[in-house]
Amino acid sequence: MHSDRLLLGPGPSNPYPEAVEALSRPVLGHLDPEFLALVADTAQRLRTVFGTRNRLTLPVSGTGSAGMEACLASLLEPGELAIVGVNGYFGERLCEVARRVGARVQAVHAPWGRPLDPEALLDAQSRAPSARLVAVVHAETSTGVRNQIAPLAALRDTDTLLLLDTVTSLGGIPVEVDSWGVDACYSATQKCLGAPSGVAPVTVSDRAVRRIRDRERPVCSFYQDLSLLDAYYQGDPPRYHHTASSTLISSVHAGLGRLLEEGLPAVWERHARVGERLQAALPEHGFEVFAEPGHRLPQLTAARLPAGVVDAEARKVLREHFGIEVGAGLGPLTGTGWRIGLMGHNAQNRAVTTLLSALPSLL
């Protein structure tokens, strides 16, 4: 018997029906002209969602962490400085991956549950103008905090690149890669884009492409080398790199089509509406929303549990009796909080109503 969950955790979320249907399409070879045309059209749809005209915009094989590693490995060389904003688990992961590719890391911290101060990041760069990049998580999945990115556009007047994690934000709240001066940006498909996991959308500015081209050393990862992926998907002729999945790309293409048919402003409004409804209702059931007002993500809510509720036991009952999955807390919310996602196809009133109807049985 197959379980049918309502996936209201931090990802994956339930895909759009169009994305599920596309999984049944015939498999294509990884260098089939029809497949490469599909990749090209998927990249064009991604440009629209990213808010960019970047030529190097690709669906990288792998989850969002693969997008993170592809960007950091391609842009950083050993010994170079990466300035990283850290106000949650995924900011810490950026630091870890940057160290693993040999970079020096300077973390700019804010408390978990509070947003990063863009001026603190800009000040750190002004004190270290040779820094190769500043990296920030737009939507911190561990806390439900939205970090402000637009002021960091000032970095475009420096030699320091801006790297942005939009794993939980792309498709759920506005992302404006070009107007924010973002040089490299990665995401994931299993959240607000409404497709299965396994693909990491990545977009890279022309000046970041020049940085990759002018490296002194080869990228430390063959599989995540963005220049090789570019030559594979967009080369003339295409150059074999790996066996990409036409099945997953077909599904992502269809999910993006559903999103763009609805229209980005309407999708953003839908996420905002259901997120606000959930966050207004949770305190009535004894929950405490973790992120500060004014900096909360509508699509991902981190909340402390009511007194007396045992985390693992309550999530088990929710899963086994109601077919609903929510995420456990991370960091200071470990064992004491949940992360509730309303993303993509699940950013609907019926998902909120179903969850809220189940809570009294747990409490």
> CATH no. for residue 161?
3.40.640.10
Confirm whether 1 is domain-assigned. Answer: no
Domain finish residue from 238, 260, 282: 260
Q: Please tell me whether residues 23 and 156 are part of one structural domain.
A: yes
Confirm whether 120 is domain-assigned. Answer: yes
User: pLDDT digit string (tens) for 214-266?
Assistant: 999 999 999 999 999 999 999 999 999 999 999 999 999 999 999 999 999 99
Q: Please tell me whether residues 49 and 195 are part of one structural domain.
A: yes
Q: CA quadruple 274, 279, 281, 285: dihedral positive or negative?
A: positive
Q: Please tell me whether residues 48 and 117 are part of one structural domain.
A: yes
| Residues 6 or more apart in contact with residue 150 via CB below 8 angstroms | 176, 179, 180
Q: Please tell me whether residues 210 and 111 are part of one structural domain.
A: yes
Res 59: pLDDT: 98
Looking at residue 322, its amino acid is F
Q: Please tell me whether residues 42 and 183 are part of one structural domain.
A: yes
Confirm whether 332 is domain-assigned. Answer: yes
Domain finish residue from 260, 284, 305: 260
Q: What is the DSSP string of 50-94?
A: HT---SEEEEEES-HHHHHHHHHHHH--TT-EEEEEESSHHHHHH
Host domain of residue 86 = 17-260
Domain finish residue from 206, 230, 260: 260
| Residues 6 or more apart in contact with residue 35 via CB below 8 angstroms | 28, 29, 244, 246, 249
Q: Please tell me whether residues 174 and 274 are part of one structural domain.
A: no
Question: CATH number, domain at 319?
Answer: 3.90.1150.10
CA distance linking residue 46 with residue 58, whole number of Å: 8
Is residue 142 a contact partner of residue 88, using CB atoms and an 8 Å limit? yes
Q: Please tell me whether residues 137 and 249 are part of one structural domain.
A: yes
Res 174: pLDDT: 98
Res 362: pLDDT: 83
Q: Please tell me whether residues 45 and 172 are part of one structural domain.
A: yes
Res 89: pLDDT: 97
Q: Please tell me whether residues 170 and 287 are part of one structural domain.
A: no
Q: Please tell me whether residues 81 and 114 are part of one structural domain.
A: yes
Res 363: pLDDT: 77
Confirm whether 353 is domain-assigned. Answer: yes
Q: Please tell me whether residues 67 and 122 are part of one structural domain.
A: yes
Q: How many CA atoms lie within 13 A of 48 on its CB side?
A: 15
Is residue 46 a contact partner of residue 187, using CB atoms and an 8 Å limit? no
Instruction: Residue 317: count other Cβ atoms within 10 Å of its Cβ.
Output: 15
Confirm whether 275 is domain-assigned. Answer: yes
Q: Please tell me whether residues 256 and 170 are part of one structural domain.
A: yes
Res 158: pLDDT: 98
Number of domains in the chain: 2
Q: How many CA atoms lie within 13 A of 158 on its CB side?
A: 21
Res 229: pLDDT: 98
Where the chain has pLDDT below 50, the residues are none
At 57, give phi and psi (nearest 5°): -135, 120
